[in-house]
Structure 1
């Protein structure tokens, strides 16, 4: 294990580290869903002088070195560019991360009443240990889009005076049979329904809701929930079918440890890499090659769909960028992608001495050892992996050392035990140089994950170095 880097920092560096950590925590609090992350990124980018690429393309304006633009896909995916002095067809330096995180989604026909309790039916998203999500305060985030096209933003459970929600667990006094089950079966997917109400609609409100099916069938608790939704959001029950509502842990990102050396929060996979990439992108002002920060959706379920990395959004946006700088040319678009270098900025598993048997210590990432590089990911025999070239790794090592960026190389656990995937192999299909890099975390995919402030700081520094020097 390398030296703990906390002891290497000067007072100015510690001040910058703390500033980055506080900024990062605020972003975690504001960006608990991919939509919220994109909205936040657009706001920050606009304040830094970035403009909407779609508006520029529509006007026919040409871009030049120093110009800063962004493009958004379906409010869940965003890419930012800062035009360099070299032609884009000579390649870009790309920071790519994902902004979706494991969670629980609300189904399209979710609201029901059972024995005087109102619930929302759910479907979990991504790889989770289902038993971790019960018996803790949860919040509800998302959008409700009505037939007339109006959109209602939903965020319940984050403010001090907000109600919160919960998924109940069986009391230990009656749990003898439950506790004999495998961990994967202790709580099953259809048992992850969200408890949202118990109070029946009062008589006056019931009379006003004579046309309401729930009131007619005497599902009075459900009727009361629908009444409250109508008052707050102008929402009918059928509007759930065109809603995207996500259930996430309630509460803010917090300092962790008596020494405040770590951060405990929901969603650090992969927003710890996404936000530090965004910070680096907005802070780097001068570079020869065009810099790019790509924040994508759907990585946790295979990077599929229109807002996942498998979509053509990034490729199409690069085509618009080439057209606005060098003129329309399919060949130059292909050259731009093939000549690029990318950091697939995703988290790695931090060595956990409480579960040492799951790791191979010599090839593990450690807290406060800096940004982590994974030459390959995948599982077992490197299945599904991108495997970075040695020449590219050497160039990265040289750049990081020149800028005194602490870094480490690691694998994700023991060889035969498991593994993980990122977006690296998808962008590698263009022929570009790609390697996974990011922050090591503890309790990955749990409702609350832990990261070292020192590693967050080194990731930010490393991403800036990459944009400037590679």
Structure 2
């Protein structure tokens, strides 16, 4: 079934709105390069639209009613937003789920060392990356330093024009004959992804001259002390993430695409957030939950496998209908969800791994995947046909461009999302998202039309699903 290219259908007014959505999207990508930054940004935007922290509601002994807007944060890395509907929670919610962690390189807890008068940070990559893509790029450091006195210091180095940037070096081609014979998975090894952060020795005075043997490392420690009042021991309680330095940019002479880091899966998370904040009235409670840790299996307290979401729903049930474990189970079982994660866009440069009839194409709208997984649908949520029909009806009701696809040829590989986790509650779930070129690379590409249609589709889901 052929789908129209959405660009051919837009009026002048729609094109203006498309650019507005994409401008806001790019700004969010620049402000949210880590999961912590994404949550901070989401809270800021939610508060501006009248959302209140559920902890304050509980503390003040307030009741929750239709129209109320609430949010709950888990360890500053996951957030759940709720717009209460006119129908009771036991009749289910319309849930938009996406993840805000992205493939990156993390700094280890004992990272700083000197080697031949170079200062490095030792690292461990996070998520599925092609390691060779991360060398010789300008890189930035984002994260937090948590100190023993309970204070935290925000870190962001490499994003401003006058900031220094960092680099992971690579072997020069002139001496790389043996390296070039290696397989792509090992051409750059994980332990060689250490970040070069300095090469200048500390200025020694008479008291230091005899003592200081690692003068470059000492200079880095001195600078950290100046800028962040940080001791080397404070690395033990830091979360520092290495990400590509630079802003999201328009891509193509026609400016039809977005080039940016972290679009998997922030393209779905931010468009879901935009839709959530734009909704005015809902029958079924609307929920948007951008979560952490999907790239490493949705594990841990801030991943979808945790009880955070379930516990928050239990609090909402208690605030609206009184405490009841059965009502919590009903609320979850009767809910409907879009588990939003990116899809692989058909790339004619690598056509051999795609099955064209079941591929996601740029410019053809929001992508739905009845199933994901690998090989024989292993690890997949496989959505019911009846639910697919309801999804189609909701999208058509608001003229959303959409397409159905799979992730490449049957035996070419595979992937998964958070869908199967939420399906454990018995709720209806389907995977959806935006088609991406160069997925999991430091710089990924999306179509502005698809970003816009994702926003429209998520809003239609909240408003139309019954």
TM class, shorter-length: over 0.9
Q: Does 2:221 match 1:226?
A: yes
Match of 2:385 among 383, 390, 400: 390
**Which secondary structure does the structure 2 equivalent of 1:203 belong to?**
coil
Q: Does 2:299 match 1:299?
A: no
Match of 1:282 among 270, 277, 285: 277
Output the CA distance in 2 between the equivalents of 1:101 and 1:287.
Answer: 31
**Which secondary structure does the structure 1 equivalent of 2:186 belong to?**
helix
**Which secondary structure does the structure 1 equivalent of 2:304 belong to?**
coil
Which residue number in structure 2 is paired with residue 409 of structure 1? 404
Say if 1:443 and 1:450, in contact at 8 Å, map to a contact too: yes
Q: Does 2:182 match 1:181?
A: yes
Following superposition, the deviation at residue 399 of structure 1 comes to 1.3
Following superposition, the deviation at residue 3 of structure 1 comes to 1.9
Say if 2:106 and 2:240, in contact at 8 Å, map to a contact too: yes
**Which secondary structure does the structure 2 equivalent of 1:459 belong to?**
helix
Output the CA distance in 1 between the equivalents of 2:139 and 2:14.
Answer: 36
Output the CA distance in 2 between the equivalents of 1:395 and 1:172.
Answer: 56
Question: Any residues of structure 2 matched to 1:421-460 within 5 Å, and which?
Answer: 421-460=416-455
Which residue number in structure 1 is paired with residue 47 of structure 2? 46
Output the CA distance in 1 between the equivalents of 2:196 and 2:159.
Answer: 17
Output the CA distance in 1 between the equivalents of 2:156 and 2:173.
Answer: 32
Which residue number in structure 2 is paired with residue 335 of structure 1? 330
Output the CA distance in 2 between the equivalents of 1:397 and 1:375.
Answer: 12
Q: Does 2:255 match 1:254?
A: no
Following superposition, the deviation at residue 217 of structure 1 comes to 4.7
C-alpha distance after superposition, 1:223-261 (max 9, x if no partner): 000000000000000100000000000000000000000
Question: Any residues of structure 2 matched to 1:23-62 within 5 Å, and which?
Answer: 23-62=24-63
Q: Does 2:116 match 1:153?
A: no
C-alpha distance after superposition, 1:300-335 (max 9, x if no partner): 000000000000000000000111111111000000
Output the CA distance in 1 between the equivalents of 2:159 and 2:439.
Answer: 22
Output the CA distance in 1 between the equivalents of 2:281 and 2:335.
Answer: 18
Output the CA distance in 2 between the equivalents of 1:421 and 1:134.
Answer: 27
Say if 2:145 and 2:154, in contact at 8 Å, map to a contact too: yes
TM-score by length of 2: 0.99
Output the CA distance in 2 between the equivalents of 1:271 and 1:186.
Answer: 29
> Which sits farther off after the overlay, 144-153 or 40-49?
144-153
Output the CA distance in 2 between the equivalents of 1:462 and 1:286.
Answer: 17
Output the CA distance in 2 between the equivalents of 1:425 and 1:224.
Answer: 49
Which residue number in structure 1 is paired with residue 128 of structure 2? 127
Output the CA distance in 2 between the equivalents of 1:456 and 1:56.
Answer: 34
**Which secondary structure does the structure 2 equivalent of 1:225 belong to?**
helix
Match of 1:319 among 314, 323, 338: 314
Q: Does 2:339 match 1:344?
A: yes
Say if 1:287 and 1:469, in contact at 8 Å, map to a contact too: no
**Which secondary structure does the structure 1 equivalent of 2:72 belong to?**
strand
Following superposition, the deviation at residue 286 of structure 1 comes to 1.0
Output the CA distance in 1 between the equivalents of 2:186 and 2:99.
Answer: 29
Output the CA distance in 2 between the equivalents of 1:170 and 1:39.
Answer: 39
Say if 2:294 and 2:303, in contact at 8 Å, map to a contact too: yes
Which residue number in structure 1 is paired with residue 88 of structure 2? 87
Following superposition, the deviation at residue 118 of structure 1 comes to 0.3
Following superposition, the deviation at residue 2 of structure 1 comes to 2.0
Following superposition, the deviation at residue 457 of structure 1 comes to 0.3
Which residue number in structure 1 is paired with residue 22 of structure 2? 21
C-alpha distance after superposition, 1:421-455 (max 9, x if no partner): 10000000000000000100000000000000000
Say if 1:266 and 1:448, in contact at 8 Å, map to a contact too: yes
Unaligned runs of 5+ in 1: none
Moved over 2 A (4+): none
Which residue number in structure 2 is paired with residue 109 of structure 1? 110
Unaligned runs of 5+ in 2: none
Match of 1:372 among 352, 361, 367: 367
Say if 2:42 and 2:273, in contact at 8 Å, map to a contact too: yes
Following superposition, the deviation at residue 93 of structure 1 comes to 0.1
C-alpha distance after superposition, 1:237-288 (max 9, x if no partner): 0100000000000000000000000000000000000000000000001110
Say if 1:79 and 1:295, in contact at 8 Å, map to a contact too: yes
Which residue number in structure 1 is paired with residue 264 of structure 2? 269
Say if 2:212 and 2:218, in contact at 8 Å, map to a contact too: no
Following superposition, the deviation at residue 148 of structure 1 comes to 1.1
Output the CA distance in 2 between the equivalents of 1:216 and 1:26.
Answer: 48
Following superposition, the deviation at residue 216 of structure 1 comes to 3.2
Which residue number in structure 2 is paired with residue 200 of structure 1? 201
Say if 1:442 and 1:450, in contact at 8 Å, map to a contact too: yes
**Which secondary structure does the structure 1 equivalent of 2:123 belong to?**
strand
